Amino acid sequence: MDRHIKNGMLSMGVWILFLVVLFGSYMTFTDSPFSDLLDEETGGFISGAFFLAWALIWFAIGKHYSRDYELKKQAFIEK
Q: Identify whether the C-beta of residue 11 lies closer than 8 Å to the C-beta of residue 59.
A: yes
Average per-residue pLDDT for the chain? 89
What pLDDT, on the 0 to 100 scale, is given for residue 34? 78
Cα distance between residue 56 and residue 17, in whole Å:
14
pLDDT per residue over 12-38, tens digit each? 999 999 999 998 898 889 888 877 777
Q: Is the pLDDT of residue 59 over 90?
A: yes
Domain count, the chain: 1
Q: Which whole-number Å values give the CA distances from 7 to 18, 34, 75, in the listed order?
A: 16, 30, 20
- Is pTM beyond 0.85? Reply is no
Range of the domain at 14: 3-78
What pLDDT, on the 0 to 100 scale, is given for residue 54? 94
Sign of the Cα torsion 50, 56, 60, 61 reads positive
